[in-house]
Amino acid sequence: MALINPSILSADFARLAEEARAVEGADWLHVDVMDNHFVPNLTLGVPIVESLSKATDTPLDLHLMIEDPDRWAPQYVEAGAGSVTFHAEAAGAPVRLAREIRAKGARASMALKPATPIEPFEDLLPELDMLLIMTVEPGFGGQAFLDIMLPKIRRTRELISRHGLQMWLQVDGGVSAETIERCAEAGADVFVAGSAVYGADDPAKAVRDLREKAEA
């Protein structure tokens, strides 16, 4: 099973509700929150997430590229997010934060930048519903997929299996019809795609094509 989560970072921000509906068949809508501190870019915050969650039936997959997620993540659950991902590099107390996100009723997830190894976090995996491996440096859509991340995806999948966990393994950055099969083969099962979906003439068809390739 492959989950395809279009990233609205590549959508038209003035028409978010329509853009959400343009990806009929998508499993989740990936929402990139950037604060211009953790990453050198600025996107959107709690009020827009609140409005977007009312405007679409597709559940929201929040990716917080922000400092101090310990303070902000719970507010995104209250705003309607079904899944909240914080960065390992930014979280002060990741176990407490993951438990708080779950207690508030959302899936808890942690992201790793390309240079952050998975091994120090092995013991935390049971606290998480998903692990996100960045396949570009976070901050911008449309960057080239980093093939050097494939071994980390493979090692993470092995750890998840070894611990007998049901958690999802998400990849984000440069995922396209050209790269998705490599990600799936390495063990990813949740695929974020921004430019590959919203840059296509028919975004809903792009979602179907990505799914077909991931499940091949």
DSSP string, 36-100: SSSSS-B---HHHHHHHHHH-SSPEEEEEE-S-HHHHHHHHHHTT-SEEEEETTT-SSHHHHHHH
- For 174: left if phi > 0, alpha if psi spans -120 to 50, otherwise beta; the answer is left
- Cα 134 to chain center, whole Å? 9
Q: If contact means CB under 5 to 8 A according to the sort of partner, which of Zn ion, ligand DX5, none does residue 173 touch? A: ligand DX5
Cβ nearer to ligand DX5, comparing 108 with 190? 190
Q: Which of 2, 28, 30, 200 is the binder for ligand DX5 (CB under 6 A)?
A: 30
Q: Tokens 């950037």: give the residue.
A: 34
156 sits near ligand DX5 (criterion: CB under 6 A): no
Q: If contact means CB under 5 to 8 A according to the sort of partner, which of Zn ion, ligand DX5, none does residue 131 touch? A: none
Cβ nearer to ligand DX5, comparing 66 with 106? 66
Going 5 to 140 to 159 to 71, the CA torsion angle's sign is negative
Q: Looking at 27, 32, 129, 189, which residue is catalytic?
A: 32
Residue 201 annotated to the active site:
no
Residue 129 annotated to the active site:
no
Ligand-binding annotation for 139, yes or no, is yes
Q: If contact means CB under 5 to 8 A according to the sort of partner, which of Zn ion, ligand DX5, none does residue 174 touch? A: ligand DX5
Burial class of 113 by CB neighbour count within 10 A (0 to 12, 13 to 18, 19+): middle
Report how far residue 149's alpha carbon sits from residue 59's, in angstroms, rounded to the nearest whole number.
27
Q: If contact means CB under 5 to 8 A according to the sort of partner, which of Zn ion, ligand DX5, none does residue 187 touch? A: none
Ligand-binding annotation for 63, yes or no, is yes
Using only C-alpha atoms, the chain has a radius of gyration, in whole angstroms, of 16
Ligand-binding annotation for 142, yes or no, is yes
In three-state secondary structure terms, 169 is strand
Going 132 to 138 to 144 to 146, the CA torsion angle's sign is negative
Ligand-binding annotation for 173, yes or no, is yes
From 43-51, 138-146, 181-189, 203-211, give the range in contact with ligand DX5 by CB under 6 A.
Answer: 138-146
Measured at CB, which residue is nearest to ligand DX5?
A: 194
Which residues in this chain contact ligand DX5 in the complex, by CB under 6 A? Answer: 7, 9-10, 30, 32, 63, 136, 138-143, 172-175, 192-196
Annotated binding site: 7, 30, 32, 63, 139-142, 172-174, 194-195
Catalytic residues: 32, 172
